[in-house]
Amino acid sequence: MSKPEFVYVTYIETTPEKMWEALTDSEFARRYWFGTEVRSDWKVGSPFALVSDGKTTDTGEILEADRPRRLSYTFKHELYETMREPATKVAFTIEPYGNLVKLTVTHEGFVEGSKLLGAVSTGWPAILSGLKSMLETGKPLAIPRAALGKEELAKEELDR
């Protein structure tokens, strides 16, 4: 039985440089990441944060920043108590594939019985589908925030 992790592969018609920009430019990311800002200076060792509606939802530290090939950071959820588990790791691998880019996202290091794993397994496909639509069509994907799956967990917290 392999360790719990989430892996997502997508192919996008773009360049590795544009892909890197899309993942690290806060203004651009807001348009496909459901209004979330990605904040960092993207240097190894620097802090990293996801900020949504003025609230910090997740934090971490940059582990690798090999532009435009590979980006990775630790990832710790901060907002919902039920998902405040030990830090995990997110890695983006950007490979040229003819005139396309193959993007592999690996999110690993979850504890047994992780609630965060379920949330990110729901969230990443929505975020990355939005990223693909932005890069290929210039238009954001009009899917509701509920697609991130965190609303159910938030509701659980409120119901306690």
**Closest CB to other proteins among residues 44, 146:** 146
State which of residues 33, 94, 133, 148 lies at the interface with other proteins (CB under 8 A): 133
Burial bucket for residue 101 (CB in 10 Å: 0-12, 13-18, 19+): buried
From the number of C-beta atoms within 10 Å of its C-beta (0-12, 13-18, 19+), residue 83 rates as buried
23 is an interface residue for other proteins by CB under 8 A:
no
CB of 28 to other proteins, least distance (A): 18
Measured between alpha carbons, how far is 121 from 148 in angstroms, rounded to an integer?
Answer: 9
Between CA 132 and CA 141 the distance in angstroms is 9
What is the nearest approach in angstroms of other proteins to the Cβ of residue 11?
4
Q: Which is nearer to other proteins, 43 or 99 (CB)?
A: 99
Q: Which residue shows structure tokens 């995990």?
A: 88
Q: Is 147 in the site for other proteins (CB under 8 A)?
A: yes
Rounded to the nearest 5 degrees, what angle is found at the Cα of 146, between the Cα atoms of 140 and 151?
140
∠ CA(22), CA(15), CA(126), 5° rounding? 45
Does 9 bind other proteins (CB under 8 A)? Our answer is yes
Size of the site for other proteins (CB under 8 A): 25
Q: Report the site for other proteins in 94-113 (rule: CB under 8 A).
A: 97-100
68 belongs to the binding site for other proteins (CB under 8 A) = no
Of 139, 151, 152, 157, the one binding other proteins (CB under 8 A) is 139
Q: What does the alpha-carbon distance between residue 43 and residue 115 come to, in Å, rounded to a whole number? A: 29
Closer CB to other proteins, residue 86 or residue 97? 97
Q: What is the residue whose two structure tokens read 């990605």?
A: 38
Interface positions with other proteins (CB under 8 A): 2, 8-13, 97-100, 125-126, 129-130, 132-133, 136-137, 139, 141-144, 147
